[in-house]
Amino acid sequence: MIRHIIAAVATLLALWAIVFMMELDKKAERFKQIEQIIEKSKEVPLQVQQTIEPIQVEQKSAAQEAKEAEDEVARKLKALKDRAGSAMAFKVSPLYKQKCSSCHGVNGEGAVGPRLIGKSETEVYDALKSFKSGERKNYVMYGLLSKMSDEDIEALSEEIGTFKEKLDAANR
Ligand code: HEC
């Protein structure tokens, strides 16, 4: 019995010794790596200087590109605003103005969204209904209409159905 216990303890000690040696090896390996890194860091300064320049050049052109994109957006927005401002031929409801005009134009002449002038009440109503039900897939229109009451949708359809007539009257 005692012999068995001694054998077991000896085995455990041997295992522990192996693990301990492995840990030591790992530490030694780390030291070697650190030494190598320090060694390498003494060689790099020249290389680093060489690589810094191209990076700076790239950053400059990226900043330039961003600036150009910004100008482009500003230009497009201005063009949109000019168009919207000059097209105001007849008055629209506050509801249309607030919810729809930013994309479809102050008089439904179209901008980001398609032109609505000339569409009949039924056409508009059917379109809005199918956007709202998700049958016709459009993220923007769906998001907008999902919170809108049927009364408002009906009122807007009726109003947009009169746009053509109103525009013609204003141009006469
Ligand atoms: C954020 C922009 C945006 C707003 C705000 C917006 N729309 Fe639209 N609308 C669109 C876009 C884009 C389409 C085209 C979607 C498609 O064809 O899938 C569209 C399509 C439509 C159509 C279908 C037109 C067609 O030719 O089939 C109708 C009708 C319409 N919108 C009415 C409205 C009404 C009414 C409002 C206000 C409640 C409104 N929209 C608000 C962007 C907008």
Residue of minimum CA distance from atom 24 in ligand 1: 114
Q: What is the pLDDT of residue 53?
A: 59
Q: Are 126 and 160 in contact (CB under 8 A)?
A: no
d(CA 93, CA 91): 7
Cβ-count burial 133-157 (b if 16+ within 10 Å, e if not):
eeeeeeeebeebbeeeeeebbeebb
Eight-state DSSP code of residue 117:
T
Pocket mutation for ligand 1, best pick of 80, 93, 104 (most atoms within 8 Å of C-beta): 104
d(CA 88, CA 108): 10
Indicate which atom in ligand 1 lies nearest the CA of residue 145: 38
pTM: 0.60
Q: Are 128 and 159 in contact (CB under 8 A)?
A: no
Ligand 1 center from residue 110 Cα (angstroms) = 9
Indicate which atom in ligand 1 lies nearest the CA of residue 128: 29
- Taking the CA atoms of residue 99, residue 103, residue 108 and residue 111 in that order, the dihedral angle to the nearest 10 degrees is 170
Q: Are 83 and 111 in contact (CB under 8 A)?
A: yes
Residue of minimum CA distance from atom 15 in ligand 1: 138
CATH of the domain at 113: 1.10.760.10
Phi, psi of 4 (to 5 degrees): -60, -45
Ligand 1 center from residue 87 Cα (angstroms) = 18
Per-residue pLDDT of the chain (172 residues; tens, 9 = 90+): 888 888 888 888 888 888 888 888 888 888 888 888 778 877 765 555 555 555 565 666 888 888 888 888 888 776 766 655 555 889 999 999 999 999 999 999 999 999 999 999 999 999 999 999 999 999 999 999 999 999 999 999 999 999 999 999 988 8
Residue of minimum CA distance from atom 36 in ligand 1: 100
Say if 166 falls within a structural domain: yes
Q: Which domain holds residue 117?
A: 88-171
Say if 106 falls within a structural domain: yes
Say if 61 falls within a structural domain: no
Q: What is the pLDDT of residue 46?
A: 58
Say if 4 falls within a structural domain: no
Say if 14 falls within a structural domain: no
Q: What is the pLDDT of residue 24?
A: 85
Pocket mutation for ligand 1, best pick of 102, 141, 152, 158 (most atoms within 8 Å of C-beta): 141
Domain tally, the chain:
1
